[in-house]
Amino acid sequence: MNKTEDHGSNETFAHSDFRIGTEFYTETGLWRCTDVGTRTIVAVKITDGYPSPQDPPPFSNAAEMVFDEYDFDGLYRRPVED
């Protein structure tokens, strides 16, 4: 995917849209980008406000997940509606 697409009423992200600190949604909730690679991003799931933008890595109770170029169609700018 080379550009941001509009899937219904919720836009997805392109790799070039991500910066460290960018927040996005998946079907599982809110995530925050912690690293941007050549074709991937790494993010941590935000649960009950943790980790906050002021909490620096490493995160004691949050696991980071890698999203690759095949996952970007499922990363949204707004919460996913049921």
Q: Could you tell me the CATH number of the domain that includes residue 67?
A: 2.30.30
- Tell me the whole-structure pTM to 2 decimals: 0.81
Where residue 10 falls among pLDDT bands split at 50, 70, 90?
Answer: confident
The share of the chain scoring above pLDDT 90, in percent, equals 57
Residue ranges making up the domain that contains 22: 9-49+60-74
Residue 9 has pLDDT above 50, yes or no: yes
Average pLDDT over residues 59-66: 85
What CA–CA distances, in Å, run from 79 to 21, 29, 37, 54? 17, 7, 24, 22
Q: Domain tally for the chain? A: 1
8 A C-beta contact, residue 66 and residue 42: yes
* Residues 12-22 as b or e (16 or more Cβ within 10 Å = b): bbebebbeeeb
Q: Give the per-residue pLDDT at 8.
A: 52
Residues constituting the chain: 82
32-59 pLDDT tens trace: 999 999 999 999 999 888 888 887 777 7
